[in-house]
Amino acid sequence: MRDRLEHSCQQVIALLTRHTGRPPHPEPAVTRHLQGCPSCAQWKRTLSLALTVFGTAADVEVPPALQHRLEEDIL
Amino acid sequence: MRVHLTYKNLEREPLEPLLQQLAARLEARVADFPQDAVLLHGTLEKHPSRALYCAALVLRLPRRTLTAQEEHTSAQKTVEKAFVEIERQLKKYKALLRREHLWKRPARREAIRLATKLAAAPLQEAERALFRDLILANLKKLYNFIRREMAYYLTTGELLPGELQIEDVVDGVVLQAAQEFSQRPANLEVSRWLLKLALNYMEAKIRRLKEERAAMVSVEEDIPEPLDELYEFYQPDEDLRLEDVLPDPLAPTPEQVLESRDLQRYINHTLAQLPRPWRNAFVFYYMEGLSLPEVALVTGQTEVEAQHYLEYAREFLRQKIVESDLAMAA
């Protein structure tokens, strides 16, 4: 797809792939492309889901015994 | 177990019941080994001119031969002492094969208290207070990083259940941090520096364990597994599908991930399929929240490499989503 959009799908995917995914992509042209291109929008959604699923760190509390022992040992 | 005994200068019959009893006891203790590979060879001898008996036992096991030689003025006592010595050596050898020296950590931890070693660390009094505050402030992050790394190594098979405890690694990293505290890099936050130490500590530890394992003989005997929550979400050879373990694919929250051990297992298994440099870049950037320059500093990659590894990892994981039924929901 290229028609009225400034970037090709290939360029958008390349930009999104390089983009690290934390803040929203700053380039308005990319946002406009995503609004008008369902396949690239789907591509971005699967990437976001992958980052949400695999990038979510589930922390647990430090066992009190370990915390207590370290506090004593380091003192 | 095959048994071959030789008698010199003494009657066999009076000793026969005792020898049968001791051989039967020994046989039960070598039941873990292939029976046709175990041979007990013994020589029982009376001194030609004195009331002195000598018993020499040789127990051949796969890759190890144990020997015992005892003397006594009583034939029965001589035989008993030789068997006791062989059994003592056998017990020690089996413990070595079971790697008890590694998995009996709680006892070892007590014996080598971190405090003793920290006392020798080159920390000034003022520095020690700062060090303590920094360690305690970053302990949860460090603990969870180590926990995830151990789960990763268990998943890849580079670490065996029971070989290492999270607490031992935390101790090791804290000790190393104390020793290197005054030389810590100025361009890296302490929280990141601790992760770097933990990463390197784990890699070195796994390397050592692999070397030890390679030098070790294996017997068909189960290693007892500790009751550790880490191992509850480690299940080898499982075939998990994302769509089966993620209840709400569009909104997985940390709480949801925390609550779902199946999801944690799935994430572990999938991330373990990434080449190590890709996984390191992904874990430090997304899970630990490091910037790209920090990822490079902690992993030893260049920023360009880290950027590329992140791209590869993202595309691999995106493909995993595409392959799952969840792609339709996304």
Enumerate residues 3 to 32 of chain A having a beta carbon within 8 A of any beta carbon in chain B.
17-18, 20-21
Average pLDDT in the B91-99 region? 78
Asked whether the whole model's pTM tops 0.90, one would answer no
B154 and B162 Cβ atoms separated by less than 8 Å = no
Which has the minimum average pLDDT: B24-38, B209-223, B293-307?
B209-223
Mean pLDDT (whole number) for A19-43:
78
The answer to whether B131 contacts A49, with C-beta atoms less than 8 Å apart, is no
Residue B266 has pLDDT above 60, yes or no: yes
How many CB atoms within 10 Å of residue B13? 7
- pLDDT bin (cut points 50, 70, 90) of residue A55 is confident
Are B174 and B125 in contact by the 8 Å Cβ rule? The answer is: no
Residue B120 pLDDT exceeds 90: no
* Chain B residue with the nearest C-alpha to that of A73: B115
pLDDT of residue B267: 80
- pLDDT mean over B1-16: 87
Buried b (16+ CB within 10 A) or exposed e, A9-48: eebbbeebbebbbeeebeeeebeebbeebeebeebbbbbb
**A21-25, B17-21, B83-87, B135-139: segment of lowest average pLDDT:** A21-25
Average pLDDT over residues B68-83: 91
Does pLDDT of B221 surpass 60? no
Mean per-residue pLDDT, A52-59? 77
The predicted model gives B240-255 an average pLDDT of: 54
Listed by start position, the domains of chain B span 2-97, 103-234, 235-330
pLDDT greater than 90 at residue B277: yes
Neighbours of B240 (CB within 10 A): 16
Report the pLDDT value the prediction gives residue B330, as an integer from 0 to 100. 52
Residue B84: predicted pLDDT: 92
Interface test with A, best of B117, B143, B268, B274 (most A CBs within 10 A): B143
- Determine the pLDDT at residue B227: 42
For residue B254, which residues of chain A lie inside 8 Å, CB to CB?
A: 56-59
| Mean pLDDT of the region B8-29 | 89
Averaged pLDDT for residues A24-52:
83
pLDDT at B109: 58
What number is the average pLDDT over the span B263-279?
A: 85
Which band of pLDDT confidence, cut at 50, 70 and 90, is reported for residue A5? low
Residue B226 above 60 pLDDT? no
Nearest CA in chain B to A74: B132
State which amino acid sits at residue A54: F
Q: How far is CA B78 from CA B41, B53, B131, B140, B325, in A?
A: 15, 6, 60, 59, 73
| CATH of the domain spanning B235-330 | 1.10.10.10
Of residues B58 and B239, more confidence is placed in B58
Q: What is the mean pLDDT of residues B84-97?
A: 86
User: Residues B284-309: pLDDT tens digits?
Assistant: 998 898 999 999 999 999 999 999 99
Contact B288 A47 (CB under 8 A): no
CB B252 to CB A52 under 8 A?
Answer: yes
What does pLDDT average to over chain B?
Answer: 80
Mutate to test the interface with B, among A56, A60, A75 (most CBs of B within 10 A): A56
- CB distance B165 to B228 below 8 Å: yes
| Partners of residue B174 in chain A, C-beta under 8 Å | 70, 74
Q: What is the mean pLDDT of residues B209-234?
A: 56
Stretch B92-104: mean pLDDT: 69
pLDDT at B243: 55
Output the CA–CA distances (angstroms, integers) from residue B64 to B35, B39, B44, B88, B93, in the order listed: 14, 11, 22, 14, 9
Per-residue pLDDT, B48: 86
Q: Which of A19-33, B86-100, B142-156, B289-303 comes out lowest in average pLDDT?
A: A19-33
Q: Is the pLDDT of residue B271 over 80?
A: yes
Question: What CATH architecture applies to the domain B2-97?
Answer: 2-Layer Sandwich (3.30)
**ipTM for the predicted complex:** 0.78
Please list every residue in chain A whose beta carbon sits closer than 8 Å to the beta carbon of residue B263. 53
